[in-house]
Amino acid sequence: MTENHSHLLVRPVARPVVRHDVVVVGGGPTGLSAATTLARSLRSVAVVDAGEPSDAPAPAAHDLLGREGTPLLELLATGRHEAEAHGAVVVGDRAVAARRTATGFEVDLAGGGTLRGRRLLLATGLVDELPDVPGVREHWGAGVLHRPSSHGDEVRGQRIGILGTGPRSVHQALLFRQLSDRVTVFLHTLDDLDDEVWEQFAALGIGVVTGTVDRLRGEDGAVTAVVLADGHEFAVDAVVVAPVSTARGDLFEQLGGHLDEHPGGTRLATDDRGATAVDGVWAAGNATDPSAPVSVAAGAGVLVALRLHADLVTEDVRAAVRTHRAPTVREVFSAASEARVSALALGDRAHGLAPAAVPRGAGPGVTAPRRP
């Protein structure tokens, strides 16, 4: 979702360049959860928070154990406090460029300055492209909805209109029918339904209205009617749309990554750990799973952080071994041989003899020939 909540944006201040273990881009539920988990493992982590969470228009977070119905902005404020309390640095700014360096990555900020990290975690969320119908954007997140997990309980039993724009609209109609027996599909730009869908709608009592939707009518901030191009109006309490959800992938593409297409838009593809095809770049949350609610996105941040931490541990261990590598058996044997040569030479000098010749590589048990 695209609304800009500038009151979330902390004004950037000049900071010295510090190399972190992880730079997290995105201060929503995913990024803050990941930062807290990493900081609790004593990882140096910086979060770039532009103050534009993907779910900002949603009034509250749902399906979140112990925090059901918590206002999203309140949840994020608490999350920032927790992350900072464990040592994470939250930078109120926008990441505008990213590049690889010899030791990791650099991320440039719109307000000036650069963050450096060994790893980069993209929790950038997505941008929703809404249907071009007057009234949709004005009521987005309130009377205009897109999934029952975000708003379902609030519209149960109400008059719900489904704005038909593609196959996903049919799926939405079936989902919202669980919440209300007053669901109507406005075909709009949706191609004619096949016989199976007509049968399903008839069996469930879902109404169908043909014709193009001209606009949504609203009063006092609420949607009240769907108005067709021919002038007919249908009273509703909420309208469901299927936006095209595009991952915020500018930084990923700058680093050589490519966005994957899916039926509802684009996303950042990862393996089962959360690593992308770009070495050292990880991703989680709505940028990789556009349908994930707040609880799932936050959990994804935790899981990716744990796996990212394990990846760093592996790198740290390898570096430690290279720096303080134990000598091999061959090296121990060679060192003992050199010590034996030195001891024999000292003994010969003490008796006025020339140093004895000891074959190179001879071990402690080898005795060199002695002259009488």
**CATH class of domain segment(s) 137-240:** alpha beta
Please state the pTM of the whole predicted model. Answer: 0.80
Q: Which fold has domain 6-129+245-321?
A: FAD/NAD(P)-binding domain (3.50.50)
User: Which two tokens mark 141?
Assistant: 């997140």
pLDDT given for residue 346 in this prediction:
55
pLDDT given for residue 10 in this prediction:
44
**CA of residue 68 relative to chain centroid, distance:** 22
Spatial separation of the C-alpha atoms in residues 105 and 115, rounded to whole Å: 8
**CA of residue 310 relative to chain centroid, distance:** 17
pLDDT given for residue 153 in this prediction:
77
| Domain spans in the chain, listed from the N-terminal domain onward | 6-129+245-321, 137-240, 328-356
Long-range Cβ contacts of 71-75 (<8 Å, 24+ apart): 72/294, 73/5, 73/8, 75/29, 75/294
Decide if 6-129+245-321 and 137-240 have a common fold.
Answer: yes
| Contacts for 309 with CB less than 8 Å, ≥ 6 apart | 37, 38, 41, 43
Q: What are 238's strand-pairing partners?
A: 160
Q: For the chain (length 372 residues), average pLDDT per consecutive 10? A: 43 59 97 98 97 73 82 92 97 97 96 96 94 94 84 87 96 96 97 93 97 94 94 96 94 96 90 96 95 92 98 95 73 64 54 50 45 44
In contact, 249 and 152? CB cutoff 8 Å: no
Which phi and psi (to 5°) does residue 50 adopt?
A: -85, -5
pLDDT given for residue 365 in this prediction:
46
